[in-house]
Amino acid sequence: AQTVTQSQPEMSVQEAETVTLSCTYDTSENNYYLFWYKQPPSRQMILVIRQEAYKQQNATENRFSVNFQKAAKSFSLKISDSQLGDTAMYFCAFMKHNTNDMRFGAGTRLTVKP
């Protein structure tokens, strides 16, 4: 079974600074997908970034980037130039290739301070 671990229940960062959220996962699969979702107080889950395991290049979306270490089964999210609107719960998720089974971590609550 696949498990996703987010070891940081809560984190905070000053506005305009950089923060990194950790995620590790356990799988015996070689083909899979990894996701970071953001859930602000509105409860609306929003996809932040997605990484295909077969791609060596780390995914980047504007201020958001990942450090994907396949051998270490690590998938951290870096948020640069943090903004107040980045305050939210962040969930790491794993999906095995060609399945519908998405497994989520317990989440990290990020607070961006002015």
Partner 1 sequence: GAGVSQSPSNKVTEKGKDVELRCDPISGHTALYWYRQSLGQGLEFLIYFQGNSAPDKSGLPSDRFSAERTGGSVSTLTIQRTQQEDSAVYLCASSFSSHSEEQYFGPGTRLTVT
Residues that bind partner 1 (CB under 8 A): 4, 33, 35, 37, 42-47, 50, 91, 95, 97-107
- To partner 1, the closest distance from the beta carbon of 34 in angstroms equals 11
Residue found by looking up tokens 């940081």 in the block: 8
Which residue number, 50 or 70, has a Cβ lying nearer to partner 1? 50
Which residue number, 15 or 61, has a Cβ lying nearer to partner 1? 61
Which residue number, 14 or 49, has a Cβ lying nearer to partner 1? 49
Distance between CA atoms of residues 43 and 30, nearest Å? 32
- To partner 1, the closest distance from the beta carbon of 4 in angstroms equals 8
Which residue number, 37 or 75, has a Cβ lying nearer to partner 1? 37
- Is the Cβ–Cβ distance between 89 and 72 less than 8 Å? no
- To partner 1, the closest distance from the beta carbon of 109 in angstroms equals 8
